[in-house]
Amino acid sequence: MPLFRRSRGYKAMAYSATMKKAIGDVRAALASAGIERQDARFAQHGTHVPDDSAPTVLVACSGGRDSMALAAVSHVVCGMLGLNCGAVIVDHQLQSGSHQVAEEAAKRCQKLGVDPVFVRTVNVDDSNGRSTEDMARQARYAAIIEAAHHVGDAVVLLAHTSDDQAETVVMDLMTRSSGIDALAGMPVSFVRDGIRFVRPFLGLTRAQTTAICQELGIRWWDDPTNGDMVPQGQPLPQHYPLRSRVRHTLMPYLSSFLVAMFRHIWRKEHSSPVVIRNSLRFRPTNCIANPFVFPKGPQRLCGSGLWHRRIVRFAVG
């Protein structure tokens, strides 16, 4: 039986396979957090108002394609389950016009039917020697947690995709001493200051979230620090954030053989470093032949903790 759009504002037409997968992934993520359909009436066609006591699901939204797709899908799923669906948008004040970007993201969420929508402005203090990215992340989580507590300890959904997961693994390989631990990537779910965070889109790609936005006619904002305006094949300058440089410069180089492997591993919800080690048949104490073609020719990579840095050093500096 086809799954049809039945949320306010959408035409009565069948969803695409990508949209149906996204809906299923969000439902599964909420079920893993203990949130199920609130009443049998929400399984029936039509628009139903959640009960006053219904749980709230908050989408952490930047206004980008991934989080806008998640907001749209979450709104549909919450309508099916009898849940309140809200969003929280954080203005880090790190870019000119950031307030306008946040307000536009809030309007797009409201247009989807998401309510409540919170816009939180934070001050990012990087005077303690830590990176701006790290301090912005801390400030962002604090603002999201405050909003979640405000609506009654809501479950928060994060829009990280399998592309983000692969990028995170590469970044962790660059900065951690243990390559195996780094391969664990981002967890599907975690608790921070009493709030449950869930990442339902780790099984989707960035191309699929883009397709969802296009299918639903949703506009999104592209962060200029992502470096999308720099031509492919031209490395991003060092002043761009590390994640942007990994995404733009390194990942295209690795994608032909590593990204497919990462996605296969993380489709298993309960993957762990042990499972990953067995899947890769990897022994960190062994030296392995480097499968990459470096500018200076093949090298040998050892499991001493330095092998993974040699993989990426040439690409991102």
Average pLDDT over residues 107-134: 89
> How many other C-beta atoms are found inside a 10 Å radius of the C-beta of residue 214?
13
Q: For 303-315, how does the pLDDT look when each residue is reduced to its tens digit (9 = 90+)?
A: 334 434 444 443 4
Residue 188 DSSP label:
S
Q: For 214-260, how does the pLDDT look when each residue is reduced to its tens digit (9 = 90+)?
A: 999 999 987 666 656 666 767 766 766 666 666 666 666 666 555 55
Average pLDDT over residues 10-28: 84
Higher-pLDDT residue of 34 and 130 is 34
pLDDT for residue 186 = 86
The pLDDT of residue 179 is above 70: no
Q: Name the band, by pLDDT with cuts 50, 70 and 90, for residue 105.
A: very high
Higher-pLDDT residue of 12 and 64 is 64
The pLDDT of residue 188 is above 90: yes
pLDDT for residue 156 = 98
Q: Which domains does the chain have, with CATH numbers?
A: 17-160+199-216 (3.40.50.620), 230-316 (no CATH)
pLDDT for residue 216 = 95
> What is the token pair recorded at 151?
């609506």
Average pLDDT of the residues of the chain: 76
E strands, the chain, where? 56-60, 84-91, 117-121, 155-157, 189-192, 195-198, 287-289, 300-302
Q: For 124-144, how does the pLDDT look when each residue is reduced to its tens digit (9 = 90+)?
A: 987 777 788 889 999 999 999
pLDDT for residue 226 = 64
pLDDT for residue 283 = 35
Q: For 285-296, how does the pLDDT look when each residue is reduced to its tens digit (9 = 90+)?
A: 333 333 333 333
Q: How far apart are the C-alpha atoms of 221 and 95, rounded to whole Å?
A: 13
Q: How far apart are the C-alpha atoms of 291 and 312, rounded to whole Å?
A: 13
pLDDT for residue 148 = 97
